[in-house]
Structure 1
Amino acid sequence: MSYTFKTSIGNNGYTGTILIPEDIATQLAVNKIKRVVATVKAHDKEITLYAGIAKKHGVIYMMFSKANQKALGVTAGDSLSIEMHEDTSKYQAPMTEELEAVLLSDYEAFEIFESLLPGKQRNIIFMVYRVNDSQKRVDIALNIMENLKIGNHEPIKFEKLL
């Protein structure tokens, strides 16, 4: 099911947010949708956002980072057009070809990766996804796998090993 709406950029105290209208938030709750893929449009620009649905003080929203705001040329209070649907992918994150290839080539690292909690898997996927250069993605993916194999399963504490 796809949801389309217009909204504005809010703030949850720490980062920007995309406010979700109450009627759509209710549908998301009824359908137990917790992660979405959204196309966010503003000023003839658009980005794809992979996000979790959050609730704070009765307000339902998606996180919307400063980097994403800068990419669209928007700030708090600006209007956005949103088209979103449930993220039904295996990891609920945008798996890159480079990370997938590294996982397929190293079965031990793949088994460790699969044993991680979904949030840690997503952290790792996004660590690779946000890099633009393909070779750097491969290097980061290899480094991540080496960290996993030496027992470091905390993405925030990964060390540069290669």
Structure 2
Amino acid sequence: MVFEFNTSIGHNGFMGLIAIPDDVAMQAVQDRVKRVVANLSHKEKEITLYAAISKRHGSYSMMFSKANQKKLEVQQGDTIQVRMQEDTSKYQAPMTEELEAVLLSDYEAYEIFENLLPGKQRNIIFMIYNAKGSQKKVDLALNAMENLKIGNHNPMKFEKLL
């Protein structure tokens, strides 16, 4: 199901938030949607956001980082257009060609990756997805897989091995 709505950008004291209207949130909860792919637009700009729907203080929202706010050229209080739908992809994150190629070429790393918790898988995927340039993505993917093989399964503590 696709949800379309206009909403404002808020803040929780730590992170920017995209408020989800109650009727949309209730339908998402009823359909058991937890992670979404949302296309956000403001004026002439548009970005894609991969996010979780979370409930805080009785209302539903998605986290919206300062980096994404900068890309969309918005700030707290601005109104944006949202088109979101459930993320039904395998990892619920945007798998890059580079990471996929590394996983296909290294079966040991693939097995370890598949046995990680979904959140750790997403951390690795987003770390590589956010890199600039294809070669940098390949280098990060190779390094991540080497870290997994030596037993370092925490993406936040990966060492540069290559």
* Alignment TM class, shorter chain as reference: over 0.9
Corresponding residue for residue 144 of structure 1: 144
Runs of 4+ in structure 1 deviating by more than 6 angstroms, as ranges, are: none
Alpha-carbon distance in structure 2 between the residues aligned to 1:38 and 1:141:
25
Name the TM-score, length of structure 2 as normaliser: 0.99
Q: Superposed, which structure 2 residues align to 1:7-46 within 5 Å?
A: 7-46=7-46
Alpha-carbon RMSD across the aligned residues, in angstroms, is: 0.4
Aligned residues of 1:15 and 1:65 also touching (Cα < 8 A): yes
Alpha-carbon distance in structure 2 between the residues aligned to 1:129 and 1:114:
18
Query: How far does the alpha carbon of each residue in 1:58-95 deviate from its partner, in whole angstroms, 9 at most, with x for none?
Result: 11000000000001111000000000000000000000
Alpha-carbon distance in structure 2 between the residues aligned to 1:139 and 1:69:
28
Alpha-carbon distance in structure 2 between the residues aligned to 1:101 and 1:31:
34
The amino acid of 2:73's aligned partner reads G
Cα offset, 1:22, TM superposition = 0.2
Alpha-carbon distance in structure 1 between the residues aligned to 2:64 and 2:79:
13
May I ask how many residue pairs the two structures share in their alignment?
Answer: 162
Residue 158 of structure 2 is aligned to residue 158 of structure 1: yes
Corresponding residue for residue 103 of structure 1: 103
What percentage of aligned pairs have identical amino acids?
A: 68
Name the TM-score, length of structure 1 as normaliser: 0.99
- Three-state SS of the structure 1 residue aligned to 2:7 is strand
Aligned residues of 1:43 and 1:73 also touching (Cα < 8 A): no
Structure 2: where are the runs of 5+ without partners?
A: none
Structure 1: where are the runs of 5+ without partners?
A: none
- Three-state SS of the structure 2 residue aligned to 1:47 is strand
Alpha-carbon distance in structure 2 between the residues aligned to 1:69 and 1:147:
32
Alpha-carbon distance in structure 2 between the residues aligned to 1:58 and 1:161:
45
Alpha-carbon distance in structure 1 between the residues aligned to 2:84 and 2:58:
21
Q: Superposed, which structure 2 residues align to 1:3-152 within 5 Å?
A: 3-152=3-152
The amino acid of 2:67's aligned partner reads A
